[in-house]
Structure 1
């Protein structure tokens, strides 16, 4: 019997999934962007670069603003962002996570080129497509946890968040950025001078500014619709929209990693007067976000994380 038990335990050990291999022992600040144009400025400024690839995902190790970093593209949209964030946390010693990228502006007070640093992020398309009754009224499922009124039949839902030691998940919509990192941003970000004109001499109509606080939302859809823009700002209270940040926020919180996200407005998410202007101002917006991230990294404490 003892031999049988030993054999079974050995088999279970062999068949158990291997833990992710730690690829670097140095504590590093992670810097993420969704796709290449958002990360190009930060990669160019990184010194002593070394690349490590895992399952087609390239991680760049180096020093940026005098701080050890690991840079990576999350990939576009929520599933890619969640997967890459978990890979990052599993394989590197991440002391804090920063995201640098572009976003659609929802708040009419925001202009293209502005850099926002939201206090929290939610998933607006974590939602229910709600049943309509014979009288035309919506009839949500009895187990639904729906924090905001519907837009048409689509009603945002609270996300499911698993908790250690508890069988039932926590239901919530918002994921808070790290308070210590936000406090540091409040000191550093207002002093960063943003660019008004792109390298191709295309210039903005207004002088870009930094905006701290407020809320951001994310979903697996490119949002370029005036009706949704009005709803997300007026009903949900969001200021910017993108396709990755809330997924990164959920994974970071689940793993106890402090995070903060910097998003520069590249378009008005459906309110551009003629057509979506993301491709016109993408490089300028990405560069402005990168300038803020670079200054923020330089101000971060060297030893302990500020959270």
Structure 2
């Protein structure tokens, strides 16, 4: 994968979010937006802080995220893609509102262990690997932007993705122990998977919406607004 050099001009930044609340917060900061619908997905292009941006609400889950990412790459040709949103904590040290930035992603629901393969190993046509590396310059820049939010913990590490809302604490601990991941969600690994195969730099930004103590769906619904606000604030700073 090519690496982003942030002293070069980034002509187009793609931002993919799963939920409407996340996209709306960024769309409100966009000038002269234009919407194009492809495969039932609304791609919104315009400028934020003078930067060319294309936004997508992809919907929940890996397939939705993968479809949207590939279309975005083919049609808009972004120089970098950020998957921004919310996630569940896999660490007792990460609380609601804290932020995880991906150093890499894994797909924790990939399971070929019955054939003797490691859990999480992805079978590409020309290689096999577990980790999906994020763009170093991009995740370092996101980390700098997080300094604009007071009283939160920000860490760079592994994001675990799967088509499962993980509420059970023991299952969260298993994913943390098995993969060394800091948070779990349902889109980041799929975005990274598609970007990796297309050689497009990417990173994942996740604000914690449910921690190891508040991990039921009702807790997620209660705290997702706060978590989304943190993600949106970081992305606005990033686009300066």
TM-score for both structures, normalised by structure 1: 0.71
Tell me the equivalent position of 2:223.
Answer: 281
In the alignment, structure 2 segments of 5+ residues that lack a partner are: 1-9
Tell me the equivalent position of 1:259.
Answer: 202
* Cα RMSD after superposing both structures: 1.8
The yes-or-no answer on 1:218 pairing with 2:161 is: yes
The answer as to whether partners of 2:167 and 2:216 remain within 8 angstroms in 1 is: no
Change (3 A) 1:157 1:261: closer
1:34-49 superposed matches below 5 A: 34-49=18-33
Tell me the equivalent position of 2:94.
Answer: 110
Tell me the equivalent position of 1:192.
Answer: 148
In structure 2, which of residues 93, 117, 120 is the aligned counterpart of residue 145 of structure 1? 117
In the alignment, structure 1 segments of 5+ residues that lack a partner are: 1-25, 131-139, 147-155, 163-168, 195-206, 299-307
Tell me the equivalent position of 1:159.
Answer: 122
**Counterparts of 1:262 and 1:116, CA distance in 2:** 6
- For the pair shown, the structure with the greater C-alpha radius of gyration is 1
Shift of residue 273, structure 1, vs aligned partner: 7.5
Matched positions, count: 231
Shift of residue 78, structure 1, vs aligned partner: 0.5
Tell me the equivalent position of 1:295.
Answer: 237
Q: Higher relative contact order by CA 8 Å / sep ≥ 6: 1 or 2?
A: 2
Tell me the equivalent position of 1:272.
Answer: 214
The answer as to whether partners of 2:167 and 2:215 remain within 8 angstroms in 1 is: no
Instruction: Give runs of ≥4 in structure 1 deviating > 3 Å.
Output: 273-276
Tell me the equivalent position of 1:203.
Answer: none
**Counterparts of 1:275 and 1:96, CA distance in 2:** 32
The answer as to whether partners of 2:18 and 2:58 remain within 8 angstroms in 1 is: yes
Shift of residue 97, structure 1, vs aligned partner: 0.4
Tell me the equivalent position of 2:3.
Answer: none
TM-score for both structures, normalised by structure 2: 0.90
Shift of residue 180, structure 1, vs aligned partner: 1.6
**Counterparts of 1:68 and 1:80, CA distance in 2:** 24
